[in-house]
Structure formats: structure tokens, C-alpha cells
A and B are shown apart, each in its own frame.
Chain A
Amino acid sequence: MNAILEIKGLKKQFGGVAALSGIDLSIEEGEILGIVGPNGSGKTTLFNVITGVHKPTEGQVSWRGRDITSLAAHEVSGAGIGYTFQQAMAFPGLSVRENVQIACEHARRSSRSYPWTTPSALLDFVGLTALSDEQAGILPFGSLRLLGIALALATRPSLILLDEPAAGLNDRETATLVGLVKQFPAYGISVCVIDHDMKLMQMLCKRLVVLDFGSKIADGLTQAVLTDPKVLEVYLGGAL
């Protein structure tokens, strides 16, 4: 296996609170990695530190062997890491097409052949072509999530970080999402996804990492992790 992203000893303090207390993690090329954990376990903080939104207190993030720990958010995107947000997924006052157009205009240059280089191709892929003249702010939640994914895809990432992509989606929309995300590795995009939805994680991820109070408590094949007593204790209070 070939790790594209490697995290070593990552710590993040917010005042007296340790949101991340020394995390080691690697994301392999071409995999769909899931990260789960109870609320406040540090999942989103982990993404924010990787993507340059927050600077870590300690530790290192390497991207294809290059230290990217101190890069600003737009530089991380330029290096090939795309991400979607839990909230505020799109530019609400602009049309759907304009949203995607902006993302395409700032896409990094990359020599690899990529299927989603135009707004039309992206809107077509996520199924929003019919809504392209609508204002993003009035889209139903499910469509907004898909638009957020289209924006991240437009940056031509080699790794995409999805922060609770299925939150607020119904079963049909979740199935659509799974169908889309599963295609990413075939186009050279590795995926790291945060979610609470274990069904979604089982559908998407071969490997699962569990965080609790800012520490990694499990890392392995999804089925094995989900039956790990330590994990069950975190999620079900050990009652199983």
C-alpha cells in the first residue's frame, strides 16, 4: 500500500481542551477511509487541521512526502486536497452554475486526464443540470450537499475529505451519494469520509478509524472495527 497522506502525532489544543491528542493516521492511495466517533471526538477538527483551516499545536501532516502542516487553506486545495463542509456547502447568493464555474476557474492545473473539468460535466455528474439556473441558497438540502461535492470535485483533487456528507439526507439521497463517491477512486481520487451513519460507512468504506476524545481507539477493516469491544463501549456503553 502507498500512503498519500500521513499524519504523525497530531495535537490540537483549544485553550485547555485537547481536541486532538496525538493522532497518527495514514490514508492510502485509492481507498475510501471512514472516520467515525461520537460528537466532540475531534473528527471535524482533524479535517480542519489537515486542510489548513486550523494550525495544529503539534505534529505533522505530509502529503505525498511533502510537509503541508503550515500551508494555508487555499494552498492545501492547490496541492490536491479537496473538502466539503458540514454546513455552508455552497455560495448561497449565486446560481448553481456560477457556483461550479467559480470552482472550475480556480481548479489547480494537473496533467492527469480528468472527467470533470467543466461546469456542465460536474453538474451532469451530480445530477443538478436541471437546477443550474437556480439560486444555490434555495436548493433543497440534498441538492445542496451534491453541489458541495461538485465544488470539491471541480478543484481536481487527488484526495477528497467529506465531512458528514449524508447528514440530513433521506435514504434515496444517501444512495445517490454512495453511488457517486464509490466512483471516485476509479478517477484517481482517494476519499476520507466522516459520518455517524454506520450503514453509510459499511456501504462505502473498507477501512474504518474510530476517534474518541481526540485519540484514535481503533483502525482496521470495517467489520473488525465494528465488532471491536472498545468501539462498542464508546458507542453503546459496553452494553453489547
Chain B
Amino acid sequence: MYNSLSPIRSLIPVLVVLIVLALVPAMGPSNRMLSLAISAGINIVALYGLSVLFGQTGILSMGHAALVGVGAYAAALLARDTGIGFWLALPLGGVFAAIAAAIIGIPSLRVSGHHFVIMTFAFGQLLTIVLTNGGDYTGAATGLDLQLPVNFFGARADDLMPYYFVVLAFVTLSAVASWAIINSSYGRTLRAIRENEKLAASLGINVGRQKIGAFVVSGVFAGISGVLLAYFLRHISPSQFTSFPSIYLALMVMIGGARLLLGPIAGGILVAFLPEVLNLDPVESRILYGVCLIAVILLLPNGLIAGAIDGWQKLTRSSTRKHPGTQAANAEHASEAGR
């Protein structure tokens, strides 16, 4: 029964994983591995936002990379035009992406389901077009460079190793923020909307406003992820924020499992490292992702981690020969257990 699992305990698996990730640099990884890990971490920050939107509220966005792009361009433009650096750009990037999410969300969330997915997809493309045609201001198709350093208490933190820890700190913050949302009355409100909008409204929940709110919250995560990305890559261009990366983000959150706290970490790491581990070229890896996505949707609708927990429980339960009804019920519980 998942109520016996106290909220604090549901945080433990994630913290353990994060501690392990903090020890990775000590194992002397190659620069390539480290930079893959940083990319994965930057994605994971955005994925935590997407998990609030998709996992908790049940809304899928196929334009999330555009919100990451808003954060990234905010960082680059702030640095170029105002000299505002990394640490101030982080909250500002979050705010700009949140505002963009509100502007997209207010008209788009009047429709639901597939229609909303198409709207976000279209807005994602629209941003790319705007950035590409922004002339010198946005650097057009070439994009923008970012030259300001990342300082941490006076020391440079741009190098791979220190930046890995900066990103890991934000992954930790995102995970804890997501955990706090899931276990709050706000999180319950979002789940109520996911489960049954009509019933939620009958209980006094302003469904429209809450959905826009969830989109805005996910935008904050995306914006921060964008700032981290801009300062990591040092050069950003419109093509990085088209609908293709958006689909990748949706794919990652589905593969990892959108409702579980570990889901975004699992999805982000798997999608970043699987092609590397299996030594696939980009075309092959796209095919692999497609196959993975179909397999996950058909076989493990709650994602890999939930699927693994379910499988383990079924394995241990079948030995004790419990009532089949309760067994299925418990497996269902397990899938939300780690929330």
C-alpha cells in the first residue's frame, strides 16, 4: 500500500542516485563521457518540469524545447546586451520561459488532448522561425555566442568538471522541487485534473487556470535548463530548439516514466548514453528511439522504472500466490509508489 510509504521515504532512491552521480567524476571519466553527462543533466532539469506537466497534470507538450530555447536565448541576450551573468540569468531565464509558457498556454489550453499537442508543436516551430528571422538581434540562423564566464565564489566553473557539479546541483534542486510539488496539495490538485477534469471542476478546482499554471511551472524548469545549456555550449542557434528536440524530451520523459521521481533521471541518462554504449550512429539511434518509444507506450505505459518495479513485484507475489485481484492492484500501486 503506497500510503505507508511516507513522502520523505519516496525521496530516498533519488538522493541515492544523485550521490552516486556526484561520485562519477572521481572515477576519472573521459571528457566525452563528462560532457554527455552534462547534456543529460541539462535535459533532466527540463524533464522534471515536463514530468509535472505530463506525469502529474496529464498534459503532453511537444514544444518544450522552445521553452528551453527561450531560457537559452534569454541567457545569451542578457549577457550580450546587459552584461548580466550566469547566476542572475538562471532565475531570469526561468521567468522569461514561464512568461512564454503563459502566452502559449492561455490560448492553447482552451483545447485539450491531441489539439494541445499540435498547438505546442506549432508554437515550437514558430519560435524557430522568429529566431531565424530575428536578424542581428537573435543572430538569425547562425545564432549567438556567449562569452561571459561562470564563476563560483570567485573561482572559474566553466570547465567540464566544475560545470558537471553545477548541473548536478540543479538536477538535485529540480528533483526536490518536483518531489515537493508531487507531495503537496498543489500536486494532488494537478493529479485530480489528470484523472478526471469534470469531477475536478465539480469539486471547485479551476481546471483551466491550473492547467495553465502547470504549463508555466514546467516553463520555469525549461528556462533554467536553457540557461544551463547556453553556458555549456557557449553557442546557441535556432535549430537546437525545433520540434525535433521537443519530441526527444517527450520521449525521454515517457521512457523514464513521467509519474515517478526517478523517471526523468532514468530517461535523461538512458537516451543520452544508450547510443554511446551501443556504439550507434545518429540515424541508427533515431530508429532505436522510435522503437523504444513504441515499446514503452505499448508494454510499459508508466515507463521503464515503473515497469521494473511492477515486474519485480509480480515475480515476488506469484511465489506467494496471492489473490489475483489484489496482485494487480498492488502492482498498480507500485507504479505510483515512488512519486
Q: What residues make up the interface of A, taking CB atoms closer than 8 Å to B?
A: 51, 53, 72-74, 77-78, 82-83, 85, 88-95, 97-98, 101-103, 105-108, 132-135, 137-138, 151-152, 154-155
Contact = CB atoms under 8 A, between A and B. Distances in A.
Which of B2, B3, B328 neighbours the largest number of chain A CB atoms within 10 Å of its CB? Answer: B3
Interface residues on B, range: 20 to 34
Contacts of A88: 196, 198-199
A85 B3 contact: no
Contact of B199 (A78, A90, A133): A90
A92 B203 contact: no
Which of B2, B196, B204 neighbours the largest number of chain A CB atoms within 10 Å of its CB? Answer: B204
Which of B196, B199, B203 neighbours the largest number of chain A CB atoms within 10 Å of its CB? Answer: B203
B1 interface: yes
Given A91-B191, A93-B195, A98-B188, A73 B201 contact: yes
A67 B201 CA distance: 19
Contacts of B202: 51, 73-74, 77, 82-83, 85, 151-152, 155
B82 interface: no
A120 B206 CA distance: 25
Contact of A102 (B4, B188, B328): B188
Nearest to A98: B188
B205 interface: yes
A224 to B, nearest CB: 33
Contacts of A151: 199, 202-203
A121 B204 CA distance: 20
A85 B114 CA distance: 25
Contacts of A83: 202
Contacts of B1: 133
Contacts of B154: none
A95 B200 CA distance: 15
Majority secondary structure, B binding face = helix
A83 B198 CA distance: 11
Interface of B: 1-4, 185, 188-189, 191-192, 194-196, 198-207, 325, 328-329, 332-333, 336
B191 A93 contact: yes
A116 to B, nearest CB: 14
A91 B196 CA distance: 6
A106 B3 contact: no
A102 B189 contact: yes
B199 A89 contact: yes
Q: Across chains A and B, which 7 residue pairs bring their CB atoms closest together, nearest first?
A: A91-B195, A73-B201, A77-B204, A133-B1, A106-B204, A105-B185, A74-B201
A51 to B, nearest CB: 7
Contact of A78 (B195, B204, B207, B325): B204
A45 to B, nearest CB: 15
A95 B205 contact: no
Given A91-B199, A135-B332, A151-B203, 15 more contacts: A73-B201, A74-B205, A77-B201, A88-B196, A92-B195, A94-B195, A95-B2, A97-B3, A98-B191, A102-B185, A105-B185, A105-B188, A106-B204, A135-B329, A138-B332
B332 A106 contact: no
A103 B207 CA distance: 14
A35 B216 CA distance: 43
